[in-house]
Amino acid sequence: MPNQRIDLPQGTLDLLILKTLALEPQHGWAISERIQQISSDVLRVQQGSLYPALHRLERRGWIKAKWGASENNRRAKYYELTRSGCRQLEAEESDWRRLTAAVGQVLSIAD
Amino acid sequence: MTAEGCRVEVPLISDLLYRLRALFRRKSVESELDDELRAHFDRQVEKHLRSGLALEEARRQTRVEFGGIEQVKEECRDARGVSFLETAIFDLRYGMRMLGKSRALTATLVITLALGIGVNAAIFSVLNGWLLRPLPVRAPDRIMVLAYHPKEGHDSHFSYLDFLDFQKQAGAFSDVFAYAPGAAGLSTGGHASEFSYSAVTGNYFSALGVKPLLGRLLLPGEGETPGGEPLLVLGYACWQERFGADASVVSSRVLINGKSATIIGVAPKEFHGTFFAFDMDGYLSLDALPQIGDSSGFWTDRRDRTLWVLGRLKPGISLTQARSSADVIAGRLAAQYPATDSDAAVRVIPERLARPAPFVTSFVPVIAGLFLVLPALVLLLACLNVANILLVRATVREREVAIRAALGAGRRRLIRQMLTESLLLTLLGGIGGVLLGEWAISASGSMLHSVTSTTSNLAYRLDSSIDWRVLAYTLGAVVMSGVFVGVWPALRAGRVDLNRALHEGGRSDSAGPGRHRIRSILLVAQVAGSLMLLIVAGLFVRSLERAEHVYLGFDPDHLLNVMMDVRQAGYDETRGRSFYRELDSRVRALPGVQSTSLGFTVPVSIPSPDAPIYVEGHLWPPDRQPPQISFNGIDAAYLATLRVPLVEGRVFGDSDNETAQPVAIVNQTMARKFWPNEDPIGKRFSLKSSSGPFVEIVGVARDGQSSWMLSPDPQPYFYLPLAQNYDSSVAMQVRTSVPPQSMIMEVQKQIHDLAPDLPILDIHTMQQTVHGLGGLLIFRLAASLAGVMGILGLVLATVGVYGVVSFSATQRTREIGIRMALGASRRDVLTAIARKALALTLIGTTAGLAGAVALSRLLGSMLLGVKPGDPLTFVSVSLILAAVALLASFIPARRATKVDPMVALRHE
């Protein structure tokens, strides 16, 4: 099962979390499921790094948490994007695009 | 892992709120995290169940995916960013447990530190009371001293007219006010005593912002017209002690120097006046000054400079602005009154920087610095000791540290832990130190008080109590020593080699060379520092010894001294002379009295007057001042009563009266100085000018102590007959055949019978005077202060050397066992162990000698008859220290040789 898996490059986890939350507020487990799902199982979020990342983002004020009832009526901590989180997401997305484009360029020349 | 882009904006407020919530609601944040993680776990398990795994397997799988749940939590805590405080609290708890575990060691360390810090706290609080504590008035930081500086001389006082001019023009100050300190006789209801006063301008109290405790204070402008009846505000202590705190004293009358004055109020308890460390008994209106003193020109003469002037800066005005405005006014005064004020300058100094008086401040920092350097050295030694012991302990704790490192503690984390522990230690030491310091101050204060009160009646009030400045200074010392003692073991802890530490099981003969080097450096520093302290102590002790054996030139046994000033009873010269004559004959007739005499002063009690000496036939260029020489006015019996030997010529006689040729007796040094290789008898000199009037030398007295401070070399000095020179202030000497103390009551009664309004300024035996403030007291204080620190230093160095040698001996037990098993003699082993300690001691001694040479230069002026580089002190003290260090290393080294090789080899 894990043969196709790619380790997340440094710094991308925050971006993925922000992007996921931009779709709708989610609790922790659902965030990791969603990332895994959307990336067709290529990206897997280590639970051990998900929660520290959530706490860090919350401290920065990019996301905020509140307790709510989940689909099957269980208590869950939902995270949602704040306004400054939206701006941060835009900034990081464009950074990421430029980065990947630049890396792609370098790689194609090196061929 | 973080996405720290270059444009990351951190909303500060949300960050702060988040951290605060995380810190103060830690419990709920932690339980939320628990809930969150558990929910995640459950969902993951369910997911696995759905994919067909059995419950046990699903759980196992989830746990594997999760990794260590505790680690996740720890990382979340880190992410929350509160870990700094949390860690500190944890470290503190852990540190306390570690300290509690080895109580004896902790106690030793804390006591060592408490001694070091206590010495600093005590000395600093004395300096604080002296120099730093602000006046208890409104906005004391705005109070400036205005020091008037004529071109020549040390004078810093204003004449009343200059003061008025300055007051009118000084726009930078909201108030300019003045006082003149002095001593007078206070007489109420037939009871007379000495009275220290400040004559103050009317605006003195309002400018300072002092409110009356009782009655009222002086009002602006009040008391500044010549000839009015003086008004008096009593100081609190005086009101308590001399008036029994009686509220009805307000508007009653008292006699000051025989002049009537009306009490209008009482000053509050905390106010002691503005004259440095003296407690004023009362505050007189300015018009009292010319009436009770002899300054008849006070209101009109610009050369009559008696006022100490202060100013309160206007709000918004800076010191620089005030200074330039003062310069302008001084310039105007100089231009306007060239005869009296030419070249005048007015310096503006913040009040606290002008203590004790504006003209001596330049030397205060030197003394203050010196008295801070010595205790700082003691503290440094204490810290070196503690650092050394902690280093040793760090070796023992290496395994503990290694285990913590293996469990994931980072290098920084370990260093922090170690530093927290050492700071905790020094904090405990600091608390002990403050208590110790407070005790030392009160002990030395009461000792000092009992000694000074035997030599002076002036209320000297030095408030050395602990305040926030002392606490801040102590806290600074605590933090610095905490870091200093902790940094060595902490750095070691950060460098622990896990593999080695865990594998070797803490076996101890493997100590790396690095650690030895640190400890060696610490030891060298310790020896050097304690040598410096010991040498300073040695110099002061030698100086005291010299002072004790200095040739006095008179016989202090069976001699009683009584000082009084008839002006304090309002007597003029005629009445004064007849009073002294009558008193002299009455006391001489008392049983037990051998002889009596009168003089202006006696040696080592109060300063003698001095005068310029113009030798007849010797012209002084007008731009050069002739030498000022101290003198004494004495009666015919003085030299015989004090037993000052006459070398040549004759003593004064009854014929040397007002109408006869003025005469003088000089001492040998003065004779040599002005008439070298000549017979001084019959030579003449003048105190007024090169052209006379002249006094003729009729005798030469033996050299001895003459000035009011002991001095190792004889100073030129001369005597004039009392009959030809009058001073209202006189010292009477009573030579007794019985113990002189037993005569005190009788002499007091005679004075009171003759003049009930006359206070006795001082009545003490000559032995007490010699041991008092002007005599040996200063030297004894300096010697005991330096001695205490020297002994502390020696003890600390001894403990240090002993500790290092005995530790390295224990560490080398196996090695010693092997050597002895291979046939080494005890002697060989002894040398091997002691050699290093000796080498280090030698290096330390050399460094210490160099430091002591530098330090002792500062002492030069405070030593009597001993040169700062006194070879005897340097050599003997170094030898003592070396011997003690030798002993301290010999004992543990010898113990090491007693090791049974078999036991040593089985060790561990």
Q: Report the distance separating Cα A7 and Cα A45, nearest Å.
A: 9
State the pairing for strand pair B729-736/B760-765: unpaired
| Tokens standing for residue B719 | 């005597």
Q: What six digits make up the tokens of B341?
A: 């004020």
Listed by number, the residues of chain A in 48-77 with a beta carbon closer than 8 Å to a beta carbon of chain B are 48-49, 51-53, 55-56, 58-61, 67, 74-77
Question: With b meaning 16 or more CB within 10 Å and e meaning fewer, what string describes B618-636?
Answer: eeeeeeeebbebbbbbbbb
Residue with tokens 């004959």: B585
- Give B81's contacts in chain A (Cβ within 8 Å): 59
CA-to-CA dists, residue B342 to A101, B150, B328, B334, B795, angstroms? 85, 8, 13, 4, 59
Percentage of chain B exceeding pLDDT 90: 29
* Count of all residues that appear for chain A in the document: 111
DSSP states of A41-86: TSB---HHHHHHHHHHHHHHTSEEEEEEE-TTS-EEEEEEE-HHHH
- Across the interface, whether the CB atoms of A77 and B10 are under 8 A apart is answered no
Q: How confident is the model over B554-572, as a mean pLDDT?
A: 91
Inter-chain residue contact A59 with B80, CB threshold 8 Å = yes
Tell me how close the Cα of A108 comes to any Cα of chain B, in angstroms.
Answer: 26
- Supply the DSSP string of B694-750, one letter for each residue: EEEEEEEEPP---SSS--SS---EEEEEGGGS--SEEEEEEEESS-GGGGHHHHHHH
Residue B130 pLDDT: 77
- Predicted confidence (pLDDT) at residue B61 exceeds the cutoff of 70: yes
DSSP string, B373-384: HHHHHHHHHHHH
Q: Which amino acid does the sequence have at B843? A: I
Domain A2-103 class? mainly alpha
Distance between CA B156 and CA B425 in Å, rounded?
49
Contact A77 B44 (CB under 8 A): no
Query: Which has the minimum average pLDDT: A54-63, B132-141, B508-517, B893-902?
Result: B508-517
Cβ-defined contact of B66 to A47 (cutoff 8 Å): yes
| pLDDT tier, B650 (very low <50, low <70, confident <90, very high otherwise) | very high
> What is the rounded CA–CA span in Å between residue B349 and residue B144?
5
Q: What is the pLDDT of residue B131?
A: 79
Phi first, then psi: give them for residue B717, nearest 5 degrees. -160, 150
Q: According to the model, what pLDDT value does residue A2 have?
A: 44
What pLDDT is recorded for position B575? 93
- Chain B 60-119, residues with CB within 8 Å of chain A CB atoms: 65-68, 71-72, 75-76, 78-81
Give mean pLDDT, residues A97-104: 89
CB contact under 8 A, B11 and A61: yes
| Separation between Cα atoms, residue B108 and residue B102, nearest integer Å | 10
B638 closest CA partner among B629, B646, B647 = B646
Determine which of A19, A29, A92 to mutate to test the interface with B (most B C-beta atoms within 10 Å): A29
Query: Between B244 and B191, whose confidence is greater?
Result: B244
Asked if omega into B714 is within 30° of 0 (cis), the reply is: no
**pLDDT for the residue numbered B665:** 96
User: Domain spans of chain A?
Assistant: 2-103
Find the mean pLDDT for residues B883-898: 82
The predicted pLDDT at position B365 comes to 65
* Cα–Cα distance measured from residue B198 to residue B214, given in angstroms and rounded to the nearest whole number: 19
Closest partner CB to A58 (pick from B3, B5, B18) = B18
pLDDT band at B528 (very low <50, low <70, confident <90, very high): very high
In chain A, whose CA is at the least distance from the CA of B30? Answer: A55
Say what the pTM is: 0.70
Give the pLDDT band of residue B455 (cuts 50, 70, 90): very low
Q: Across the interface, do A61 and B66 touch by the CB < 8 Å criterion?
A: no
> B183 φ, ψ to 5°?
-125, 140
Average pLDDT on B800-814 reads 77
Q: What residue of B is the nearest CA neighbor of A31?
A: B40
Give the rounded distance of the alpha carbon of B622 from its chain centre: 43
CB contact under 8 A, B39 and A84: no
DSSP single-letter state for residue B508: G
Phi, psi of B127 (to 5 degrees): -65, -35
Rounded Cα–Cα distance for residues A2 and B229 (Å): 108
Convert the pLDDT of each residue in B349-373 to its tens digit: 888 877 766 665 455 666 677 778 8
Task: Quote the radius of gyration of chain B (alpha carbons, Å).
Answer: 37
B841: tokens are: 């001691």
Q: Can you tell me the distance from the alpha carbon of B787 to that of B280, in angstroms, rounded to the nearest whole number?
A: 34
State the average pLDDT for chain B: 83
ipTM field: 0.82
Structure tokens at B233: 């505000």
**What is d(CA B58, CA B55) in angstroms, rounded to the nearest whole number?**
5
Band of residue B286 on the pLDDT scale cut at 50, 70, 90: very high
- Measured in whole angstroms, the distance separating CA B734 from the mean position of its chain's CA atoms is 37
pLDDT at B3 over 50: no
Task: For residue B251, count CB atoms less than 10 angstroms from its CB and return exposed for 0-12, middle for 13-18, buried for 19 or more.
Answer: exposed
Which secondary structure element, helix H or strand E, spans residue B472, and what is its range? Answer: helix B468-494
- Cα B547–B552–B554 angle (5° rounding)? 155
More confident residue, B634 or B786: B634
Q: Which of B7, B44, B76 sits opposite A52 (nearest CB)?
A: B76
Adjacent-strand bridge partners of B294: none
Q: Which amino acid is at B835?
A: R
Residue B514: the pLDDT is 56
Q: Which pLDDT score, from 0 to 100, does residue B150 have? A: 63
**pLDDT one-digit tens code per residue, B707-751:** 767 777 888 999 999 999 999 999 999 999 999 989 999 999 999
What's the rounded Cα separation, in Å, for the pair B489 and B233? 62
User: Contact, B558 vs B740, CB < 8 A?
Assistant: yes
pLDDT of residue B641: 94
Please provide residue A79's backbone torsions phi and psi, each rounded to the nearest 5 degrees: -105, 140
Task: Give the Cα separation of B111 and B113 in Å (integer).
Answer: 5
Q: What is the pLDDT of residue B793?
A: 87
Q: What does the DSSP assignment read for B10-55?
A: --HHHHHHHHHHHHHTHHHHHHHHHHHHHHHHHHHHHHHHHTT--H
Nearest-angstrom CA–CA distance, B779 and B767: 16
| Separation of CA A88 from chain center | 12
Do the bridges between strand B259-266 and strand B231-234 make them parallel or antiparallel, or are there none, so unpaired?
A: parallel
Is 50 exceeded by the pLDDT of residue B1?
no
**How far is the C-alpha of B661 from the C-alpha of B681, rounded, in Å?**
14
User: Are the beta carbons of A52 and B65 separated by less than 8 Å?
Assistant: no
DSSP B168-201: HH-TTEEEEEEEEEEEEEEEETTEEEEEEEEEE-
Name the more confident of B303 and B728: B728
Q: Are B888 and B805 in contact (CB under 8 A)?
A: yes
Nearest CA in chain A to B3: A11
- Stronger pLDDT, B64 or A90, i.e. the higher one: A90
**B283 three-class SS:** strand
- CB of B15 within 8 Å of a chain A CB? The answer is yes
- Rounded to 5°, the CA angle B600-B606-B609 comes to 55
Beta bridge partners of B646: B701
Q: Calculate ∠ Cα A92-A98-A104, nearest 5°.
A: 130
Query: In B319-373, which ranges are E strands?
Result: 345-350
Quote the pLDDT of residue B23: 64
Question: Other CB atoms closer than 10 Å to residue A101's CB: what's the count?
Answer: 10
The closest alpha carbon to B579, from B818, B317, B757, B318, belongs to B757
Q: With a cut of 50, say whether residue B175 has pLDDT above it.
A: yes
| Rounded average pLDDT over B617-633 | 81
Q: Which of B143-152, B261-270, B715-724 has the lowest mean pLDDT?
A: B143-152
pLDDT for residue B305 is more than 90: no
Is the minimum CB–CB distance between A37 and chain B shorter than 8 Å?
A: no
